[in-house]
Amino acid sequence: MSTTTLPTPRRGIDYKKFLANNGALVGLVVLCLALFIATPDFLTGPNLLNIGIQVSTVAVLAFGMTFVIVAGGIDLSVGSVAALSAMSSGWMFASAGLPGWLALVGGLVVGALAGVINGLANAYGKLPSFIATLAMLSVARGLTLVISDGRPIKTAPEVSFLGGNLGPVPMPIVILVIAALAASFVLNRTVIGRSMYAVGGNAEAARLSGLPVKRILVTVFALAGLFAALAGLLLAGRLDSAQPQAAAGYELDAIAAVVIGGASLSGGLGRISGTLVGALVLVVIRNGLNLLNVTSFWQQVVIGLVIALAVGIDVLRRKSRNS
């Protein structure tokens, strides 16, 4: 009696379910195969490294976004926060004369602080995350322009190092791997990470179970800010300068990567590995279209369709789970 199981409906091998859970990965593999066949330029060392470098910024931003989306929120400010962090770091080095390493850390701190403010506004100020971070999107970009007076600032050598090479491997790829492992560790292993899923799944149930929901939310946004800062520094490092309009609009890429990677915008679902695949899908599509000489105008059309397709899969998945 104690081990009685309750039969629930099941239909043989569930292809729909498999595809729904691994759709992004399948899509990525198909995409790479198609590009490999279509153009000899795709599967070359330099091109792959190029993809790696490009994906690093998007993916690192998207890792931070994954925390937020898993916890049931959204962060529209990550692009602006990335720019603000890089610009602050540049200012600390160039104008305030701080040592380079301190300017680097300072940039990260600025990003985390912006995230904390988002989190406080959301958890304690009761602003929906959409609104709180929409405000931060504007504020952070504005501050970036104020600090820089609209001009690029040269970054510290330590920051430029992030955009350089470690032997044959570009640093951004090294940072990407470290960031992925760290984010995955936080989300999967730590109490705060597991709590994010509970908060995103049902915040009230999480609260009544004794989870510190508000503190979790602040942490979530702080992490998103920190990862945004890292992405901003990567971007600045590659150009040896912090640009006032850097990473503008990147928040949409980050959200797209997370959603393509299988997270649900209603919270409680999402994986770092999925987000990485999502970011790769975006970048590989752009890269492939470039190689095939498709104009950037058409690229936007394709990217939009891919996002719609991915969200369609999200809906399909939820349907198959509910029936």
Partner 1 sequence: MTQQPLLTLQNVGKVFGPVTVIHDVTVSVYPGQVQVLLGENGAGKSTLIKMMAGVYQPDSGHIVVDGRTVTLPNTRAAEALGIATIHQELNLVATMSIAENVMLGRMPTRHGLVDRRALRQQARAALALIGLDIDVDILVGELGIARQQLVEIAKALSINARILILDEPTAALTRHETENLFAVMADLRQRGVGMLFISHHLDEIAEVGDTVTVLRDGEFIAEVPASTSEDELVKLMVGRGIEDQFPRVPENLSQAAEVLIVENLTSTGLFSDISFTVKAGEVLGIAGLVGAGRTELIRAIAGADRYASGTVAVRGQHLPKGSIKAAIAAGIGHVPEDRKGQGLVLDASVNNNLGYATLASTAKLGLVDFAGQRSRATAVAKRLRIRMHTIDQPIGALSGGNQQKAVFGRWIIAASTILLLDEPTRGVDVGAKVEIYELMNTITAAGGAILMVSSELPEILGMSDRILVMRDGRIAGELSAAEATQDAVMTLAARDVDETHEQR
Smallest separation (angstroms) from partner 1 to the CB of 204? 5
Which C-beta is closer to partner 1: that of 144 or that of 195? 195
Among 210, 249, 293, 296, binds partner 1 (CB under 8 A): 210
* CA–CA separation, 229 and 78 (whole Å): 8
Pull the structure tokens for residue 289: 């279209």
Smallest separation (angstroms) from partner 1 to the CB of 208? 6
Among 7, 40, 45, 46, binds partner 1 (CB under 8 A): 7
Closest CA to 285 of 269, 273, 296: 296
- Contact status: 97 vs partner 1 (CB under 8 A): no
Vertex 260 angle, CA 255 and 265, to 5°: 55
- Contact status: 206 vs partner 1 (CB under 8 A): yes
- Contact status: 268 vs partner 1 (CB under 8 A): yes
Q: Does residue 81 contact residue 229 with C-beta atoms inside 8 Å?
A: yes
Q: Does residue 218 contact residue 120 with C-beta atoms inside 8 Å?
A: yes
Smallest separation (angstroms) from partner 1 to the CB of 268? 5
Pull the structure tokens for residue 321: 């789970």
CA 205 to chain centre: 27
Q: Does residue 224 contact residue 68 with C-beta atoms inside 8 Å?
A: yes
Smallest separation (angstroms) from partner 1 to the CB of 210? 4
Among 97, 191, 249, 296, binds partner 1 (CB under 8 A): 191
Smallest separation (angstroms) from partner 1 to the CB of 124? 14
* CA–CA separation, 26 and 59 (whole Å): 18
Among 94, 212, 302, 311, binds partner 1 (CB under 8 A): 212
* CA–CA separation, 121 and 298 (whole Å): 38
- Contact status: 208 vs partner 1 (CB under 8 A): yes
Query: Which residues of the shown chain bind partner 1 in the complex (CB under 8 A)?
Result: 1-12, 189-195, 197-198, 201-202, 204-212, 268-269, 321
